[in-house]
Amino acid sequence: MRSTAIPRLMVSAMLLGAPLACAVGCGGAPPAASASTLPVPARVSAGDFAEALRKYTALSPGNAQRAKLRRVLATHYIETEVPSLGDASYESLVGAFSEVAALHEPADFESGDLAPELVSLARQIRGEAAKRGDEAVVLAALLILRTAGVDADTAKKDYDEVNRWGRRARATIDSDLEGISSVVELWEDHATLTPAPEVLAALAKLEIRRRDMLLDHMKRGDSSSMTRQDLFTAPAILRQTPLTVAAIFLEHGDLASARTYVKALGDTGGMEAELIRVLDAALGGSGDALLELAMTYARGKPSTTVGICAYGYRAFPKDSSFPQCLARIAAEDNQHALATAWFRETVRVAPTHRELYDEALGQVREFVERAPADTNPEVVRGMVKQADEIISERERRWPGTSQEIELERFYAAVGMMEMNAGNLDSARARFEAALKVKETAPSLEQLGRIASARGNHAEAVEFFERAKELSEGIPGLPGAFAYAELLGRIGDEHRALGALPQAKTAYESALKILAAAENAANPFGMVEVLMRRGILLDRLDRAKEGARAFREAIRNAENLRSAMGEREAFPASAALQQTYARILSHLAAAPEPNLELAQDIFRAAQRQLTLDPEWKVYFALWTSMLGARSGKATDAEVNIVLGQHRSADAWYGALARFGLGELDEAGLLAAAKDQGQRTEAYFYAFIPATRAHEDAKAIEQLELTIRAQMVNFYEFIMADELLSQRRRSPPAAPAPAQ
């Protein structure tokens, strides 16, 4: 609870800019522990975790199933944060410790009902935390051991000693206010890790003592003993102390203790009286009062809002406002899987409120559209499963209204996620679902790409042609690029079918589109025009003209950097990074290897200060691959770049070692952690096989790459092109034996 501005009570009941009124009716008694028949799984996957955590929140301390589910969740946290306990870092252990500790409430500490996993982690980190002077973690670990009865006497003695030492050390600070503020910060962290009743009470007393100390200084007019920082923060501390003290207990749904300690502050003419009034109403069973409290903390202390709304969810199970509150806070905190689980619960509680369905689906769609590439696909699938249930129920209640919420965008976003994971069947189903809602060029294009990846080139042409019709007339450079891209894809499919005249027509049409767009292109757009022109000219067997276009594209990119400076020229360096990538990957798999051009572009790319290290390694490997195809030794600069990154712990470090010959194919595959990395391992094994003239092995590696179905990977695209060349021009049969 650092000095965060928290809004006053009694303003309009809004949370995150949206209404939080009781959707069904607020009333009922506070929650009580009860037996539950909730089935508890033996373990949870990444996709099921958010829903399991939501169910856990619904259980009050004392519920028979709660401890069982807590152990399942704790195991998942530990396996996620600490894959290998034997060589786990201190930071990863503390991360797991914090997550497992957050599953506990004051009542758990009071009863001694702690998860064994938490006790085990406390034993592991206690010593290292002490060495590092990590006071809050040391205090938390010792309190857990004492509560669990693990060497309890020693733990209690050490706990008291660390506590006394910390307070004595802070007593030497010149400013007494600064000293007590430092103690408050320590106990805030302690309370976050271990919300035992005694810790919460101690923190509340510290907050009150700091408030009293400030008031005393101000009454005596003694500003000489206050630092400038003290004088600056004093008004905010005085104003916020009632809310801060209440939040300590409200975070755990303890309304009674919150009222007791706010009452102990006395009435200084601030908001104490108003806060007590709202707390009294909430204690009396008012859901509206609970929502008012939740809204009060939403911006400044959202964890307190979560505690209040979790309490409200248990107290008023028929009121959708509380799961909606929890969903919105989770979404604001980028916990999108948890937000989806709470939105699903919201519409279950209030199934006739259409706006709740629309809000839920909008949140999920936005996340799936913007999800980082490294997002765990299992987590996203868990979200999508819940979203599908929301969609199904919405369609049942309000049929024929899918376009109103742009449901086609959601299906297309999920389709792209499945494509990125190599799940082409699932991706196709999603894009087809998107077309049923509304036919769009992007969905048709992706269906064409899926058909192409499976060798269904005639079907791919049909999809691309339909996408082209919808893309016609889109203004501006993006429209021109999209149209030219579709023409290029149509040409590629005709080429694969052996229909060379049709392919030539499509490529030439794409060149005309780019030529028409050239006049409207800014310097960044001109680089893109030239890159696309080079690829099309190469497809038309005009390799020399294509090479000139590529060189001009790189020259324009370098001129941007020299004219505008590195940072200004590459504000979105990922876009130009991909320009280099498209040119180099095209050259690496081109029918006529142009090693000299590839080496020049490789060196130009390495001069970018903003080039990510993994791309430096990829570019080096692609240049090395072209050298292998050309029968030339690896370029010295390629080896230098690989050597600079060989020690990296990340995946690109393993690729660099493989490129240098320090790691064999089996070692690279063993280092791969997911389908994408395995795809790359298959592909890059093509390089040593090609150098060793092991043609069958080289082809096998390309086919393995294709079977992985990671169609959005450059490695898949290059493997597909190299195999297509062999189909178009199979190698000559060996001469008959003499």
User: pLDDT by residue (tens digit) across 605-620?
Assistant: 888 767 889 999 999 9
Residue 26 is predicted with a pLDDT of 40
Q: In whole numbers, what is the pLDDT of the chain averaged over residues?
A: 87
Task: Provide the pLDDT confidence category of residue 240 given band limits of 50, 70 and 90.
Answer: confident
pLDDT surpassing 70 at residue 561: no
pLDDT per position as a tens digit, 431-479: 999 999 999 999 999 999 999 999 999 999 999 999 999 998 888 888 9
Structure tokens at 66: 């709660």
- Mean pLDDT value across residues 669-675: 93
Structure tokens at 144: 């857990």
pLDDT surpassing 50 at residue 714: yes
Q: Helix H segments across 12-134?
A: 49-57, 66-81, 90-101, 106-111, 116-132
The secondary structure of residue 519, as a DSSP letter, is: G
Task: Provide the pLDDT confidence category of residue 574 given band limits of 50, 70 and 90.
Answer: low
C-alpha 210: how far from chain center: 39
Please report, rounded to a whole number, the percentage of residues in the chain having pLDDT higher than 90. Answer: 65
Question: Radius of gyration of the chain from Cα atoms?
Answer: 31
Q: Which of 399, 402, 490, 403 is CA-nearest to residue 444?
A: 490
Structure tokens at 301: 């202390």
First CA to last CA across the chain, in angstroms?
88
Q: Are 457 and 451 in contact (CB under 8 A)?
A: yes
Residue 606 is predicted with a pLDDT of 86
Q: Which of 242, 251, 248 is CA-nearest to residue 311?
A: 251
Q: Which of 709, 725, 713 is CA-nearest to residue 452?
A: 709
Q: Which of 656, 661, 665 is CA-nearest to residue 618?
A: 656
pLDDT surpassing 60 at residue 248: yes
> Minimum mean pLDDT among 146-160, 500-514, 639-653: which range?
146-160
pLDDT per position as a tens digit, 356-391: 999 999 988 888 888 877 788 788 889 999 999 999
pLDDT per position as a tens digit, 29-66: 344 434 455 688 888 999 999 999 999 999 988 888 99
pLDDT surpassing 70 at residue 151: yes
The secondary structure of residue 454, as a DSSP letter, is: T
Task: Please give the Cα distance from 286 to 8 (Å, whole number).
Answer: 19
Task: Provide the pLDDT confidence category of residue 17 given band limits of 50, 70 and 90.
Answer: very low
Residue 63 is predicted with a pLDDT of 86
Q: Which of 614, 541, 606 is CA-nearest to residue 580?
A: 606
